Amino acid sequence: MGQDSTKPEDNLKLVEETRRTFGRVDILLPIAGVNSTMSIPDMTEEEWNRVMDINLKGVFWGCQAVFNLMREQRYGKIVTIASVAGKIGGITSSVAYSTSKAGVVVLTYSFAKALAPYGCNVNCISPGPIETPFHGKLDEGAREMLRKNIPLGRWGKTDDIVKGILFLCSDAADFITGEVLDINGGMLMD
């Protein structure tokens, strides 16, 4: 649709188009994201802002765009995507990426608390290494280092994340809100 998740007006337009087409908006998955491998000494303001704009501000604008609608409907499911890096810091990602994903966790808690009185659920999935183009630039040594830190002994698949999203959007998760579901093969156990 040519929407830019970092623009509040584009998020509002997308929500309105969806509501107009389907009559309501029951589920939001604000999952745009970018990585950065820029080191702390090399981090530039431009790179920091790019990562924050997409990974954190874009999630906020999406959640804000459905806030009033879901509150009025007295129903809605929002599932954000953080990262294991948002809990432990970057291993193969930058401080900007890790910080933005930690922000997504706290943003999720804030929206969960604000929307809970209206029967809406806001949860987060925190993936570990997943086989996607997102990690495609890692060399074999980095990939193997990450795999060795996963007790299940393999990288995750996109289907592993999809199953978590489907669960959190289902009626089976109606009494779950403000939860961060770690899907990382045991990489982080807290």
The per-residue pLDDT for range 160-173, each reduced to its tens digit, is 999 999 999 999 99
pTM assigned to the model: 0.92
Q: Are 97 and 117 in contact (CB under 8 A)?
A: no
Does residue 134 surpass a pLDDT of 70?
A: no
Q: In this predicted model, which residue has the larger pLDDT, 149 or 117?
A: 117
The three-state secondary structure class of 178 is coil
60-105 per-position pLDDT tens digit:
999 999 999 999 999 999 999 999 999 988 766 789 999 999 999 9
- Specify the DSSP class assigned to residue 102: H
Q: Are 105 and 87 in contact (CB under 8 A)?
A: yes
Residues taking part in catalysis: 97
Q: Which domains does the chain have, with CATH numbers?
A: 8-183 (3.40.50.720)
Residue 165, number of CB atoms within 10 A of its CB: 19
Q: Are 27 and 11 in contact (CB under 8 A)?
A: no
Q: In this predicted model, which residue has the larger pLDDT, 141 or 15?
A: 15
34-69 per-position pLDDT tens digit:
988 889 999 999 999 999 999 999 999 999 999 999
CA distances from 99 to 2, 102, 132, 152 (A): 27, 5, 21, 26
C-alpha triplet 172, 158, 107: angle, nearest 5°? 60
Residue 138, number of CB atoms within 10 A of its CB: 17
